[in-house]
Amino acid sequence: MDAKQPAWFAAGFPHVWPPYSQMKTAAPPLAVERTEGVRIYLEDGRALIDGIASWWTACHGYNHPHIRQAVIRQLEIMPHVMFGGLAHAPALTLAARLAKLLPDDLTRVFFSDSGSVAVEVAMKMALQFWLNRGEHGRTKFVAFRDGYHGDTLGTMAVCDPGEGMHSLFSGLLPPQAMLNLPTDAASIATFDDYLDRNAGKIAGMLVEPLIQGAGGMIFHDPEVLRRLRAAADRHGLILIFDEIFTGFGRTGTMFACEAAGVVPDIVTLSKALTGGTMALAATVATGRIFDGFLSDDPGHALMHGPTFMANALACAAANASLDLFEREPRLRQVAEIEVGLREQLGPLAKVGGIKDVRVTGAVGVVQIDRLNDPKALQRACAEAGIWVRPFRDIVYLTPSFTIGADDLERLTGTLRKVLAA
Ligand SMILES: Cc1ncc(COP(=O)(O)O)c(C=O)c1O
C-alpha cells in the first residue's frame, strides 16, 4: 500500500470490491478527500478537473448549495419513509414536475434507486402490459448492437452481447433480438424485415436516444428515432427510450427525445436526476401503459417495490436539481460547452492516430486508432490534473454544465497535451 495513502484507505481498501476491476492487476483507486464545483480534491493534495462529472451525474457541479440546503432541510423533517401505502411531498412533487417536463402523455412515474433497476422496471412493464391483455407470445425485446442498459441480469440481456462487458454471460441470458440500429439502407431493410416476420413475439424495443453511451459513445441521427417510433406504431410495440445518460440536458435539449420530436411509451431516467448527489431513478410510462395495469384482477398489478423507492432525501435533491434547471441557464451552458468542445477538440481530428472526433451537446468524444491501454491514459491524465475514464478505443468528456470557459479550456488542453505526448 502506498505510504502516502491515508489510514482509512489502508484499513478499508482490502475490504471493498471495486467496480469493473480485475483486482489482481488493477492499480488502487485515488483517495478522494472532497469535491467542489468541477474539481475532485485528492487526499495527496492534488485537485483534478472532473471531465466526466462522476459518470455523467453532477450536472450542476459538485456540492451545489441549493441542493445541499434542500437535502439538509429534508433530513431534518424525514430522511426516508416507505413508499408502500404511504406518500410524501418530495416524491409526489417530483413526479408531477417530471410529468410536466416530459413530452405528451409520459405522466406515470415509478421511482427506483438505480438506472439498471429503472430499465428492469421498464422491461417488466412492457412484458406485463401484454400478459395483462392475454397476449402471452410477446416475450422478447428488440435491442441494438453497441447499446448499454445496465449490469443487472435482465438489462445485461439487452446490452450488446459482444461489447465486452457482459460477453462472458451471453449464453446464460434470455436471448433477445439484437439488431443493428436502422441507420442506412441495409440496416433499415434488415430491421423492417425482422419486425415484419417477428413482431408478434416482441414486447418492446429499447434504445438510448441520440447517443449509445457506455457501448462506445456512438451518435445517431434523430431520424433514426422517428424510424423506430414509426416501426413501433406499425407493429404495436412498446418503445422504451433509455435516457439515463442523455436525460436532463446532456445532448442539448432537456430530453434527447425532444430533438427527434418523438415520444416513447416508457422513458427511464437516473444519473443527473438528483444533480449527482443521490441514488434515484425513474421509469415514466404513458397513460396508455399505466391503464394496461388497471384491472379487477389483483394479479394484473405491477409487482415491483424497491425498499428505498422514492427516498425522500433523493427526491428533495431531485426537486432542487430541477429548480436549478429552471433558475439557471443550463441548456445555454450546454450549447456553449458544445461550441467549446468543437473548437478545442476539433483540431485533434488531424492528429495522427486519432480516428474520429465528435461532439453533441456537452459530450465530446475522441476515438483513437489503437488505444492499447486505457488505464495508462487515465493515469497520465490524472497526473496532468484531469479526471477521465477512457474505455475501448475512446476518451470522452462529459463535464458538469457549470464548468467555466477557463476550466473547459484547461480540461481540453490537458487532454490534447496528454494525447500528443
Ligand atoms: C443508458 C444507461 N442505461 C442504464 C445504465 C445503468 O445505470 P446504473 O449504473 O445506475 O445502474 C447506464 C449507466 O451507465 C446507462 O448509461
DSSP state of 37: B
Q: Which atom of ligand 1 is nearest to the CA of 271?
A: 10
Helix, strand or coil, per DSSP, at residue 129: helix
- Name which residue sits closest to atom 8 of ligand 1, judged by CA: 115
Q: How many CB atoms lie within 10 A of CB 63?
A: 14
Please work out whether the CB of residue 150 comes within 6 Å of at least one atom of ligand 1: yes
Q: Residue 2: its pLDDT value, please?
A: 60
Residue 237 φ/ψ, nearest 5 degrees: -95, 155
pTM: 0.98
- Name which residue sits closest to atom 16 of ligand 1, judged by CA: 245
Beta strand 238-242 with 39-42 is: unpaired
Distance 269 CA to ligand 1 centre (A): 9
For 65-327, the fitting CATH number among 3.90.1520.10, 1.10.150.20, 3.40.640.10, 3.40.50.10300 is 3.40.640.10
Extents of the domains making up the chain: 7-60+329-420, 65-327
Q: Which of 50, 62, 146, 148 is catalytic?
A: 148
Please work out whether the CB of residue 245 comes within 6 Å of at least one atom of ligand 1: yes
Helix, strand or coil, per DSSP, at residue 252: coil
Give the residues of the chain that fall short of pLDDT 50.
Answer: 1
Please work out whether the CB of residue 292 comes within 6 Å of at least one atom of ligand 1: no
pLDDT digits (tens, 9 = 90+) for 42-76: 999 999 999 999 999 999 999 999 999 999 999 99
User: For helices 374-384 and 405-420, what crossing angle results, to 10°?
Assistant: 130
The H-or-E segment that residue 397 falls in is: strand 394-397
271 is known as an active-site residue? yes
- Please state, in angstroms and rounded to a whole number, the distance separating the CA atoms of residues 358 and 393: 13
Q: Residue 167: its pLDDT value, please?
A: 87
Please work out whether the CB of residue 367 comes within 6 Å of at least one atom of ligand 1: no
Whether the CB-CB separation of 231 and 239 falls below 8 Å is answered with no
Whether the CB-CB separation of 398 and 52 falls below 8 Å is answered with yes
pLDDT digits (tens, 9 = 90+) for 331-384: 999 999 999 999 999 999 999 999 999 999 999 999 999 899 999 999 999 999
Domain range 7-60+329-420, CATH class:
alpha beta
Beta strand 363-368 with 106-112 is: unpaired
Q: Residue 3: its pLDDT value, please?
A: 60
Buried b / exposed e over 13-24, threshold 16 CB at 10 Å, is eeeeeeeeeeee
Q: Residue 421: its pLDDT value, please?
A: 84
Angstrom distances, CA of residue 187 to CA of 137, 191, 214: 26, 6, 22
- Please state, in angstroms and rounded to a whole number, the distance separating the CA atoms of residues 61 and 328: 13
Nearest to residue 420, comparing CAs of 363, 341, 337, 345? 345
The H-or-E segment that residue 195 falls in is: helix 185-198
Please work out whether the CB of residue 250 comes within 6 Å of at least one atom of ligand 1: no
417 is known as an active-site residue? no
Residue to mutate, 111, 116, 141, 273, ligand 1, most ligand atoms under 8 Å from C-beta: 116
Please work out whether the CB of residue 286 comes within 6 Å of at least one atom of ligand 1: no
Whether the CB-CB separation of 31 and 12 falls below 8 Å is answered with no
The DSSP line for 293-322 is T--S-GGGS-----TTTT-HHHHHHHHHHH
- Please state, in angstroms and rounded to a whole number, the distance separating the CA atoms of residues 306 and 177: 28
